Each structure stands twice: as structure tokens, then as C-alpha cells.
């Protein structure tokens, strides 16, 4: 099944359920208390946030090829309300993204890029895992 052709919302929820079964993807205990970026007002209240964000990040790595933490921080950033001053774009936090990428490496789904372009890319096992999600 082609990852690009299916509805991303349904695919990400199915992928999140599959990621829950992988022992390397563990939700850290501090995730319920931290904001995901400077533009957010409160921490995320969704109990499955960690797995949904992991699914979204894995899908981005699959689609974009080689991608690093900085580009993903920009992708998940948003507009920060600065009170009376005009809102401005702020990148999201990097710790959550970095930890998910490291867990993906431990699970064997991702690997550091060996080419000139820095970042992480899918392994053959990772591509098969992504394409077998129904």
C-alpha cells in the first residue's frame, strides 16, 4: 500500500496503534507535563500524543527521504501569540522530535544518513513496516 495515496489522518492513527506494540517506543513520564513548543499555551492532554507524534514523524521521514531535527521543528512549529505585539512563527521544541528519532533508530526503522545531506532516513525494515500498515 502506498503511504502517499491514503488519507493521512486515518493512516497516522493506524500507524500510531502499530507503534504502540513496538517495545522501543516508550512514552517518557515527563511528556504529560511539557509543552510541545514555545507557541503553545498548555501541555498536550491527549494520552496517546507520543505515539501519534511518532507516527507523524515517521511518515514525514518516509515521504521526505532524509530529514533532520531542525526541519521537523519547523514543520511542527506555529504562531506564538505575543500579546499586543503581532504574532510570530516559532519552531517547536526539539527534545520530543529528537527522542522519537532515537527510538526509531533503536527499533531499526530509521538510520543516520550516510550521504552528504545530514539527518535520518528510513531503513529497508522501516519502509516495509510503513507499507504494511492497513
pLDDT at residue 1 above 80? no
More confident residue, 115 or 1: 115
| Per-residue pLDDT at 17 | 94
Count Cα neighbours of 56 within 13 Å in the Cβ-side half-sphere. Answer: 13
98-114: average pLDDT:
94
Which grid cell is 56? Answer: 507523524
pLDDT at residue 114 above 90? no
Question: Residue 133 carries which DSSP code?
Answer: -
Distance CA 125, CA 127 (A): 6
For the stretch 26-36, pLDDT in tens is: 999 999 999 99
Name all domains of the chain by residue range, CATH numbers in brackets.
8-131 (1.10.10.10)
Average pLDDT, the chain: 92
pLDDT band at 125 (very low <50, low <70, confident <90, very high): very high
pLDDT at residue 20 above 90? yes
Amino acid at each position: 500500500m502506498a503511504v502517499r495515496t491514503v488519507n493521512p489522518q486515518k493512516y497516522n492513527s493506524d500507524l500510531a496503534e502499530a507503534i504502540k506494540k513496538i517495545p522501543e517506543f516508550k512514552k517518557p513520564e515527563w511528556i504529560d507535563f511539557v509543552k510541545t513548543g514555545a507557541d503553545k499555551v498548555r501541555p498536550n492532554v491527549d494520552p496517546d500524543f507520543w505515539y501519534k507524534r511518532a507516527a507523524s514523524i515517521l511518515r514525514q521521514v518516509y515521504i521526505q527521504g532524509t530529514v533532520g531535527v531542525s526541519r521537523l521543528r519547523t514543520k511542527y512549529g506555529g504562531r506564538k501569540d505575543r500579546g499586543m505585539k503581532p504574532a510570530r512563527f516559532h519552531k517547536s521544541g526539539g527534545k520530543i522530535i529528537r527522542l522519537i528519532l532515537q527510538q526509531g533508530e533503536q527499533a531499526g526503522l530509521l538510520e543516520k544518513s550516510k550521504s552528504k545531506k545530514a539527518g535520518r532516513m528510513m531503513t529497508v525494515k522501516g519502509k516495509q513496516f510503513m507499507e504494511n500498515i492497513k
